[in-house]
Each structure stands twice: as structure tokens, then as C-alpha cells.
Amino acid sequence: MSEATEAQHAPIRGRATVLANEADGSGRRLRLAVPAWPGSIPGQFLMIGPGALSDVPRSDPLLPRPMAVYRDATESATPEVEVLYQIVGRGTTLLSEMTAGQSVGLVGPLGRGFPVEAGNALAILVGGGTGIASLYSLARALVDLGRPVVVILGARDKSGLLARDDFAGLDAELICTTEDGSEGHRGLVTEPLAERLAADPTASVFAVGPTPMMKACAELAAQRGAKCFVSLENPMACGFGVCLGCAAPRSEGGFSLVCRAGPVFEATEIDWEGLP
């Protein structure tokens, strides 16, 4: 099992103050002030939940939720962290009810992020649903390094294209796809991905979204001999390698912990058929 790389910051466990918690299309955008937040690498995540460390501690729901760091800023006196999420269950419903000034517990930054490398090779970032949240910091970091970047965002309809405007503000090509055609191309993210890979087989792919989407992106990349990185989203209780709940089957046999060896993996490391 590969451990997290040296360059990253040790995680903190602390309480964050909600600065804003607003709708972003069909999702929500939560902005937090996090004292002592050390910064993060694109693709890292945090564990957050209105549980043990909140103003009114509660045991139900019990577990914090893993969420990608959408972006963070450590220049100001109190560092800020943003996450994007969808309301999918009781934990995220409670999170959505938090208002500015309230406290929420978090642990992070956690996990192994994306490789952020300079060069001339095209980087194709493919995001579906809340997977989009994992890609913004990566897109920004690659653009800052001068990499040519194409971002392909997909959702059922245009309300699911989270943070579309943030991506549009980057010096990168943005392609949107919706299944109902309410914005951009009608169809799936795999269509523009296949076109781009056909045109540029030296490209690298960074895909984050539902498992079937990542698997399809990985297959397209493999057909063209392109590298493909994915970020897995298995359920986990701790986020730092002790509950062992987030095991993902490896292509070579055995399991890797998504929280420590990942969440970012090269697609070839994963036994896609063995994922639940």
C-alpha cells in the first residue's frame, strides 16, 4: 500500500466556522474559516459532519462525510476552505441547514492528491456530479503551470454543472454536457473525451464522478494508451487509515485504502469489476 507523499501537510482535527452555505445549482457550496488549516494538494479531501465536534454534539448521524476540498486559501489570517456537496441523505441535509457563524468539526487535509506536473501534454479533466468538486483546484494548478487544460463537465441537467462559472473563469477550454441537453452538448462526458483523446493521444485524463463514468473514461484512455487518474468515493468512517472501511479492490489482487493510498489512483490500479 503506497503511503501519502512527503510534500503534503499533516492533517488537523479542528472546528471550522461556517462563513457561507449557499445553493450552487442543484448542489451547495459551503465556505468555512478553518484556523490552522495547513493547505492542501489538489484532490485531497476532508472529513466533515455535524457530529461530535459541533456546537450541539450529536451521535446521529454518527459519522463524518468525506468531501473533496474544492479550493482553499491560506494567505489570510484565518485560512478558508470551500467544499461543494449535494444533499443526498441525513448527514448532508443537516450540513445544508448550517448557517453562518455555526461550528462544524473537520479532519483534513487527507489522502493522496493528483500528480500536478508541468509540461506541454494536454490535461483532460472530466467531472461528473459532485466529482466536479475534486477538479477545480487541479485545473487551476495545471493552468498556473502552463499546461494546456480541457475541462469536461457533465450532469443530468444544467443545475448539476456545479461551479460551472468558476471553471469558465480559468484559462482553460470548458466543455459542458448534459443528459437532457439543457446546457452544452446533449449526452455524456465520454463523447467529447473520446474526440479529444483521438485528436491527442499524448493527453492525460483526470476523471472524477460516478463509478460507471470513471470506468468508461478509464477504458477510453486505455484504448488510446493515455494515462488516466481517478478519484474514488468509497464510504469511510475515519478518513485516515484506521477503520479500513474504504477498501477498494486492486487489479493485482488485495485491497487499497481509498483514504490513504487514494482517493486518487491510476485507473489501472483498480479492479473496476470488484467495486460495489
Partner 1 sequence: MSAPVDESVEFAGIPLRNPVLTASGTFGYGTEFAPFLDLEKIGGFVAKSLTLEPRFGNPPPRIAETPSGMLNAISIENVGLRAFLDEKLPALPAGAVVIASAFGTEPAVYAELAGQLSEHPRIAGVEINASCPHVKAGGIEFGQDPKLLAELVREVRKTITGPLIVKLSPNVTQIAEMAKVCEGEGANGITLINAVQAMEVDVRTRRPVLSNILGGLSGPAIRPIALRMVWQVARAVKLPICGVGGITDAEDAVKFLLCGASAVQVGTTNYLDPSAAERIARGIAEYAGQNGFDRVADLTGALDTPGD
Which residues lie near partner 1 (CB under 8 A)?
Answer: 10-13, 49, 51-53, 57, 59-64, 105, 107, 234-238, 240-249, 254-255, 274-276
Nearest approach, Cβ of 104 to partner 1 (angstroms)?
12
Torsion of CA 252, 132, 11, 230, to 10 degrees: 10
Nearest approach, Cβ of 57 to partner 1 (angstroms)?
8
Residue 168 or residue 244: which is nearer to partner 1 going by CB?
A: 244
Nearest approach, Cβ of 35 to partner 1 (angstroms)?
15
Q: Say if residues 148 and 118 touch (Cβ distance below 8 Å).
A: no
Q: Please confirm whether the linkage preceding 192 is cis (ω < 30° from 0).
A: no
Nearest approach, Cβ of 238 to partner 1 (angstroms)?
4
Nearest approach, Cβ of 170 to partner 1 (angstroms)?
32
Residue 18 or residue 243: which is nearer to partner 1 going by CB?
A: 243
Residue 156 or residue 250: which is nearer to partner 1 going by CB?
A: 250
Show Cβ contacts of residue 179 under 8 Å, excluding neighbours closer than 6 positions. Answer: 154, 155, 156, 157, 186, 187, 188
Rounded distance between C-alpha atoms, residue 262 and residue 43, angstroms: 9
Nearest approach, Cβ of 243 to partner 1 (angstroms)?
5
Residue 17 or residue 255: which is nearer to partner 1 going by CB?
A: 255
**Contacts of range 267-270, beta carbons closer than 8 Å, 24 or more positions apart:** 267/207, 267/214, 267/217, 267/218, 267/221, 267/222, 267/228, 267/229, 267/230, 268/218, 268/222, 268/228, 270/218, 270/230, 270/232
Residue 8 or residue 17: which is nearer to partner 1 going by CB?
A: 8
Rounded distance between C-alpha atoms, residue 69 and residue 182, angstroms: 28
Residue 27 or residue 241: which is nearer to partner 1 going by CB?
A: 241
Nearest approach, Cβ of 246 to partner 1 (angstroms)?
8
Q: Say if residues 202 and 213 touch (Cβ distance below 8 Å).
A: no
Residue 28: CA atoms inside 13 Å, Cβ hemisphere, count? 20
Residue 225 or residue 276: which is nearer to partner 1 going by CB?
A: 276
Nearest Cα residue to 161 out of 146, 143, 181:
181
